[in-house]
Amino acid sequence: MMKNRKVGIMGGTFDPIHLGHLVVANEVLNMYKLDEIIFIPAGIPPHKIGIGASSWDRYLMVNMATLSNAKFKVSDIEINNPGKSYTLNTLRELTKLYTDTEFYFITGTDAVIDLPNWHEPQEVLSLCKFIAVSRPGISKEKVECKIIEIKNKFNGDIELLQVPMLQISSTDIRDRFKKGISAKYMLPESVEQYIIKNKLYLENNNDFWWNENKAGKFIIS
């Protein structure tokens, strides 16, 4: 069947969203002439435990950060689904709902080399094309080698795209807020203000994600 729309998917914890995510999304949007990019904040990340903001806070911050771009959309599909977030379930749901859409899953090079450890990598790769964007820290050779390996093993479609590289990570930003070091210019000002106003990332709270429930978002602390 002929697919009429091309849509990028930017998955992540976005804890918090930063300029690295936004630059990458915009580059892929331009290079592949996509109709739009959907940012999908993960609900309970299967592999991550640490200091973290609630799903609701992360979802709001992604909305604030993407406000000025008409082609950036945000989906609550993962934060509203009970249980752990698996890309496989999300892709299954999206491809079933939007049969005329070709999906491009966007990941940084750190995430793409981890793909074999995802839940059901073979099926994930069968559902959409992958765009791996350059991220500082991993050599091009290593990534190219790993991509060939993944393609051979799982028969996926993965393209490597060089984008302007920003050495920004959410981990570093959380650490800065915790230590009181400025993270200005690494993330949108609205997101920075939201973090300060709501006192996010100030202390280690390992249980946060796991204790969260939907009512939790109405608790004012």
Smallest separation (angstroms) from ligand ATP to the CB of 155: 21
Smallest separation (angstroms) from ligand ATP to the CB of 25: 9
Closest residue by beta carbon to ligand ATP = 108
d(CA 62, CA 24): 14
Can you tell me whether residue 162 is helix, strand or coil?
coil
Which is nearer to ligand ATP, 14 or 177 (by Cβ)? 14
Least Cα distance to 174 among 58, 80, 9, 4 occurs for 58
123-160 per-residue burial string, b: 16 or more CB within 10 A, e: under 16: ebbebbbbbbbbbeeeeeeebeebbeebeeebebebee
Smallest separation (angstroms) from ligand ATP to the CB of 135: 4
Which is nearer to ligand ATP, 99 or 117 (by Cβ)? 117
Q: Is 175 in the site for ligand ATP (CB under 6 A)?
A: no
Task: Using DSSP bridges, classify how beta strands 5-12 and 101-108 pair: parallel, antiparallel or unpaired.
Answer: parallel
**Which residues in 71-110 contact ligand ATP (CB under 6 A)?**
107-108, 110
**Which residues in 112-151 contact ligand ATP (CB under 6 A)?**
133, 135
Kindly give, in sequence order, each residue whose CB lies less than 8 Å from that of residue 178, ignoring residues fewer than 6 positions away.
51, 201, 202, 203
Which is nearer to ligand ATP, 93 or 114 (by Cβ)? 114
Cis peptide before 41 (omega within 30 of 0): no
Residue from 74, 79, 125, 168 that binds ligand ATP (CB under 6 A)?
A: 168
Q: Is 54 in the site for ligand ATP (CB under 6 A)?
A: no
Q: Is 13 in the site for ligand ATP (CB under 6 A)?
A: yes
Residue from 8, 20, 43, 121 that binds ligand ATP (CB under 6 A)?
A: 20
Total residues at the site for ligand ATP (CB under 6 A)?
18
Least Cα distance to 102 among 111, 112, 91 occurs for 91
Partners of 132 in beta bridges: 107, 160
Smallest separation (angstroms) from ligand ATP to the CB of 100: 26
Which is nearer to ligand ATP, 3 or 178 (by Cβ)? 178
**Which residues in this chain contact ligand ATP in the complex, by CB under 6 A?**
12-15, 20-21, 24, 107-108, 110-111, 133, 135, 166, 168-171
